[in-house]
Amino acid sequence: MLILVNLISNAKYAMGGVSDRPHQITLTVELAEGCILRLSVTDNGVGIPTENLTRIFAHGFTTREEGHGFGLHACVIAAREMGGTLKVESEGVGKGATFTLELPIQMMEHNR
């Protein structure tokens, strides 16, 4: 749950610098092949420069003046501890971003 709260908070922050379009956050939840729960948070905010995509989850990396660089790092560690992954995609500056959390789930069998 903390991962999702952090991703939504970051998406909201990313739209703070956008004034040329309405702000939008889209949450997508789906069951992917192999019993994987996929949660995506997409925003139409400021986007992420290509050079930051590889280091965005690094401890201490931040683009915010008041940031500490712990949030996304803690999220990616939590995802791994649950056997999942956390990934990011952005087509660049001004193009928004999508963070996708994938977690394995076990389907319960119902005995009749």
* Burial environment of residue 13 by CB neighbours within 10 A (0 to 12, 13 to 18, 19 or more): middle
Q: Is residue 111 part of a domain?
A: no
Q: Is residue 8 part of a domain?
A: yes
Domain with residue 7: its CATH number is 3.30.565.10
pTM for the structure as a whole? 0.90
- Of the chain, the percentage scoring pLDDT greater than 70 comes to 95
Q: Is 109 strand, coil or helix?
A: coil
Q: Is residue 76 part of a domain?
A: yes
Element of type H or E holding 40? strand 36-43
- Of the chain, the percentage scoring pLDDT greater than 90 comes to 80
| Residues of the domain holding 32 | 2-104
Q: Is residue 112 part of a domain?
A: no
Q: Is 105 strand, coil or helix?
A: coil
pLDDT digits (tens, 9 = 90+) for 59-110: 999 888 787 889 999 999 999 999 999 999 999 999 999 999 999 997 655 5
Q: Is residue 70 part of a domain?
A: yes
